[in-house]
Amino acid sequence: MTLSAIEVNRLKQAPMVEGVLPVVHARWSPRAFAPREVSPADLKKLFEAARWAASSFNEQPWRFLVGGRGSSAYKKIFDSLVERNQAWAGSAPVLILGVTKSTFSHNGSPNRVALYDLGAAAALLCLQATALGLAAHQMAGFDPQAARAAFNIPEDFIAGAVIALGYQGEPSTLPDDEFLAAEIAPRTRRPWNKSFLSAWDEPFNLG
């Protein structure tokens, strides 16, 4: 029997750690989206959260191209997705393409952390989405050149990822068993001491 959306959402919650923001544990990346639309008021909250991300020299190099279902922007983003992502992402009511300026505005020099800053803004957007009861799924599977041509994106901007945004839907609506298996699988992460180090392959000592 396929799990319901409520059951899957419960399954996907990360183990709670005291003192960690609950929204961090609650965030995950569904592929099944409900047909419910996202309100302009909630979208504005997401934009505001992303707007206050930190960035080198306060460059704020990110730009987010946003398409609501039925709009030309939505079609352009959707058409840039790889076929495997198109199979499920079309159920999301909003698609967002993140791009970032690869040079600094104040002197034209290369900004080597432009993608880092875009990622920081996208992370805040996705956490704000979770806090509002929304779901976001970030994906690298799209054609950056097709997106560049469709939106006439300047050459000094580089693409980051596409975000599918909406409300979590029922897993049973997914197009095949592979997607369904991923949707209902428990989330996993490697232990923190494999990622936070004091020397290479030597865990940081918390004392």
pLDDT band, residue 207 (cuts 50/70/90): confident
Residue 194 covered by a domain = no
CATH of residue 40's domain is 3.40.109.10
- Residue 60 located in a structural domain: yes
- Backbone φ, ψ for residue 193 (5° rounding): -75, 0
179 inside domain: yes
pLDDT, averaged across the chain:
97
Write down the pLDDT at residue 1: 62
Domain count, the chain: 1
CB-based contact 172:203 (threshold 8 Å): no
pTM of the model: 0.96
In a domain? residue 115: yes
CA-CA-CA-CA torsion sign (65, 68, 74, 77): positive
Q: At what angle do helices 40-51 and 114-131 cross, to 10 degrees?
A: 140
Considering the domain boundaries, does residue 206 fall inside one?
no
Asked if residue 34 is part of any domain, the answer here is yes
Domain of 117?
A: 5-185
Check if the beta carbon of residue 164 is closer than 8 Å to that of residue 33: yes
CB contact at 8 A, 130 and 26: yes
Helical residues (DSSP H) of the chain, grouped into ranges: 5-12, 22-26, 40-51, 72-80, 83-89, 114-131, 144-151, 177-184
Query: pLDDT digits over 129-149, tens only?
Result: 999 999 999 999 999 999 999
Whether 207 is covered by a domain: the verdict is no
Is 200 a residue whose pLDDT tops 90? yes
DSSP reduced 3-state for 165: strand
Residue 146 placed within a domain: yes
Q: What region does 201 belong to: left with phi over 0, alpha with psi -120 to 50, or beta?
A: left
List the Cα angle 130/144/68 in 5-degree steps.
Answer: 45
Report percent pLDDT > 90 for the chain.
Answer: 99
In this structure, the number of other CB atoms found within 10 A of the CB of residue 53 comes to: 17
| Separation in Å, CA 120 to CA 114, 125, 152, 177 | 10, 9, 24, 33
